[in-house]
């Protein structure tokens, strides 16, 4: 069973990435801060919805909050092939890399309701999105879309030639591409110079 809404999927994906990186579960406050949500009650409602769908289990011990993530075990055929199109910068924008015909196997559940043929993969280069637990060498799964909501992580094509992975925010006729790394500054450009090439939907981390 999959999350019912896009926000639920984003929260579920964030929890999984957080546990993978830190080895423990995020708190309500950490989840709320990550998504820029002021009310922890809103997060609690999403967590409750995920619990009802059997994707999370809550436990209370000594007043603390814990999450135990349950990922449905994939059936033998629940792996799909997506195209690996090259690299994308999580740092200074890189020149795009053409499709060389290579594909990779991806667990189907990572794509949620997005059809595999609408997804491609890019190898991450740089650490500008490290606070989102998107690290150098990871493989980002990207939905092939040219429209994005404010705050979504996108593959942005700058001046038609350089691609970067950042959070998108619009300010009138300008676009700000924000890193998730406190050591780096956002990139602000005229909207006419930025094209959305896809929306970040998931992550694969190659084995060490």
Residue 196: what pLDDT? Answer: 93
Residue 91: what pLDDT? Answer: 65
Yes or no: is domain 79-204 CATH 2.10.109.10? yes
User: Is there a shared CATH topology between the 6-69 domain and the 79-204 domain?
Assistant: no
Catalytic status, residue 64: no
Residue 59: what pLDDT? Answer: 58
Which residue among the candidates 52, 125, 128, 182 is catalytic per the annotation?
A: 128
**CA–CA gap between residue 186 and residue 167 (Å, rounded):** 9
Which residue among the candidates 52, 166, 182, 192 is catalytic per the annotation?
A: 166
Three-state DSSP state, 103: strand
Q: Which pTM does this prediction carry?
A: 0.61
**Fold topology of 6-69:** Arc Repressor Mutant, subunit A (1.10.10)
Domain ranges in the chain are 6-69, 79-204
Cα→Cα distances 19→103, 106, 202, Å: 27, 20, 15
The answer to whether 83 touches 102, Cβ cutoff 8 Å, is yes
Residue 176: what pLDDT? Answer: 96
**CA–CA gap between residue 22 and residue 26 (Å, rounded):** 9
Catalytic status, residue 38: no
Token duo for residue 16: 């999984």
Q: Based on C-alpha coordinates, what's the Rg of the chain? A: 17
Token duo for residue 20: 């993978």
Residue 164: what pLDDT? Answer: 92
Residue 85: what pLDDT? Answer: 86
**CA–CA gap between residue 66 and residue 68 (Å, rounded):** 7
Residue 187: what pLDDT? Answer: 93
The answer to whether 66 touches 47, Cβ cutoff 8 Å, is no
Average pLDDT of each block of 10 consecutive residues along the chain (208 residues)? 74 79 74 87 86 71 50 57 85 59 82 82 91 90 88 90 91 94 93 93 79
The answer to whether 155 touches 145, Cβ cutoff 8 Å, is no
Which H/E stretch holds residue 156? strand 153-158
């Amino acid at each position: 069973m999959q999350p019912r809404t896009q926000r639920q999927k984003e929260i579920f994906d964030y929890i999984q990435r957080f546990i993978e990186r830190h080895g423990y579960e995020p708190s309500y406050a950490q989840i709320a801060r990550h998504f820029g949500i002021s009310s922890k009650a809103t997060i609690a409602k999403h967590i409750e919805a995920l619990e009802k769908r059997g994707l999370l289990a809550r436990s209370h011990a000594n007043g603390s909050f814990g999450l135990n993530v349950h990922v449905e075990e994939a059936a033998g055929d629940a792996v799909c092939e997506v195209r690996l199109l090259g690299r994308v910068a999580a740092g200074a924008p890189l020149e795009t890399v053409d499709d060389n015909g290579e594909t990779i196997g991806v667990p189907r559940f990572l794509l949620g309701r997005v059809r595999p043929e609408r997804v491609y993969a890019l190898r991450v280069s740089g650490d500008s999105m490290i606070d989102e637990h998107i690290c150098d060498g990871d493989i980002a799964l990207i939905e092939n879309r040219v429209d994005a909501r404010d705050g979504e992580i996108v593959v942005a094509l700058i001046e038609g030639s350089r691609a970067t992975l950042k959070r998108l925010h619009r300010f009138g006729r300008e676009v700000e591409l924000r890193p998730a790394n406190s050591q780096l500054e956002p990139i602000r450009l005229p909207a006419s110079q930025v094209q959305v090439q896809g929306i970040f939907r998931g992550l694969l981390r190659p084995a060490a």
